[in-house]
C-alpha cells in the first residue's frame, strides 16, 4: 500500500482527498494546522490520519508520496518545516502550488530527487477537472503511474514536457474556469438587458452552454463546424457571429491567455 502525505487541505486539497478515499491501494495522512478543527468534522469517520502539526521523523520515513497544497504566500515557511527530514529513497514530491517551480522544491528538500508540478483546476471540485503535470528527469514510471491514478479521480490528466508549458497550462486550464464564469456572467447580463428576468437569463444561458458542450461531445464535431452548421446564411446566428468576429473575439481570447501566462512567468521567477 502506498502512503500519501497531503500538506494543506483547503478547497483543492479537500476535493482531492475526498476523491482519493475510494482508492484502496493508498493510505492518507493530512497535515493542516490552519483548517484542523474544520477538517476534524469534515473528515470524521474517514480513513484519514489528520494532523495539526508536522509529522515525526519516524512517520515521515514511511511516506511514498508527499503533495504540497498550500497557498503560495506561505509555501516557503511550510517547506522550511520539512527540509531536514530523512525520506524514503524513492519518494516523489508533488506540488499543486501555483507559481512555484521544481527548483523551488529541489533547493529546499535535499533528501529527494523526484519532483512533479501539478496544475489542477477548479472543476476538480466536482470531479470534472483537468490536471496538468511536469516532472524533472528523475521521476520513475511507477511514481508517474501512481500520481496519474490519484488525479484521474478528479478528471483528465495531461503530462507536459517543460515547465514553460505548465505556466501556459496555468493560463489556459488553470485560470480558464475564471474566464468561462466571467463570460457566463456577461451572457446573463446581456440577456437581462434584452428583457429577461434574472432567473430566466440564468436558465437560458446555463442550459444553452451545457447543451452546446454535450452536443459537441456527442457529435464529436469541431466547434467551428457546429457554428457554421447553426449559422444559416442571412439568419440570426450568422449576424451574432459576425459581430463577434468584427470585434476580434480571437484576439481578445489570445490576449487574455497571454496576460495570465505573463503573470505566471513573473510568479515563477519569484522562487
Q: What is the pLDDT of residue 46?
A: 81
Q: Which helix (H) or strand (E) holds 94?
A: strand 92-95
Query: What are the pLDDT digits (tens) for 67-93?
Result: 999 998 899 999 999 998 999 999 999
Q: Which helix (H) or strand (E) holds 215?
A: helix 198-219
Per the listing, cell 487574455 goes with 256
Q: What is the pLDDT of residue 264?
A: 85
Q: What is the pLDDT of residue 66?
A: 98
Q: Residue 110's closest CA among 144, 76, 79?
A: 79
Cα distances (angstroms) measured from residue 82 to each of 54, 75, 114: 8, 11, 15
Fill in the DSSP letter of residue 158: E
DSSP 113-131: -EEEEEE--GGGGGT-EEE
Query: What are the pLDDT digits (tens) for 210-241?
Result: 999 999 999 999 999 999 999 999 999 999 99
pTM of the model: 0.89
Q: What is the pLDDT of residue 151?
A: 97
Spatial separation of the C-alpha atoms in residues 192 and 188, rounded to whole Å: 6
Query: What are the pLDDT digits (tens) for 86-135?
Result: 999 999 999 999 889 999 999 999 899 999 999 999 999 999 999 999 99
Amino acid at each position: 500500500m502506498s502512503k500519501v502525505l497531503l500538506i494543506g487541505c483547503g478547497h483543492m486539497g479537500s476535493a482531492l482527498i475526498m476523491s482519493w478515499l475510494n482508492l484502496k491501494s493508498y493510505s492518507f495522512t493530512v497535515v493542516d494546522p490552519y483548517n484542523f478543527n474544520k477538517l476534524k468534522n469534515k473528515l470524521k469517520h474517514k480513513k484519514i490520519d489528520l494532523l495539526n502539526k508536522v509529522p515525526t521523523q519516524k512517520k515521515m520515513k514511511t511516506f511514498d508520496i508527499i503533495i504540497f497544497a498550500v497557498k503560495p504566500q506561505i509555501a516557503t515557511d511550510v517547506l522550511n518545516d520539512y527540509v531536514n527530514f530523512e525520506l524514503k529513497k524513492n519518494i516523489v514530491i508533488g506540488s499543486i502550488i501555483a507559481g512555484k517551480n521544481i527548483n523551488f522544491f529541489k533547493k529546499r528538500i535535499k533528501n529527494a530527487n523526484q519532483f512533479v508540478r501539478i496544475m489542477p483546476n477548479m472543476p476538480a471540485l466536482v470531479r470534472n477537472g483537468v490536471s496538468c503535470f511536469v516532472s524533472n528527469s528523475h521521476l520513475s514510471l511507477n511514481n508517474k503511474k501512481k500520481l496519474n491514478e490519484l488525479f484521474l479521480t478528479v478528471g483528465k490528466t495531461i503530462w507536459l514536457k517543460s515547465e514553460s508549458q505548465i505556466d501556459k497550462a496555468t493560463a489556459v486550464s488553470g485560470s480558464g474556469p475564471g474566464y468561462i464564469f466571467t463570460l457566463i456572467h456577461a451572457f446573463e447580463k446581456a440577456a437581462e438587458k434584452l428583457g429577461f428576468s434574472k432567473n430566466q437569463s440564468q436558465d437560458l444561458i446555463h442550459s444553452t452552454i451545457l447543451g452546446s458542450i454535450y452536443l459537441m461531445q456527442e457529435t464529436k464535431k469541431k466547434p467551428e463546424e457546429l457554428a457554421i452548421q447553426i449559422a444559416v446564411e442571412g439568419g440570426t446566428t450568422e449576424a451574432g457571429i459576425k459581430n463577434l468576429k468584427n470585434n476580434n473575439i480571437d484576439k481578445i481570447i489570445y490576449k487574455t491567455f497571454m496576460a495570465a501566462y505573463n503573470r505566471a512567468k513573473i510568479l515563477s521567477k519569484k522562487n
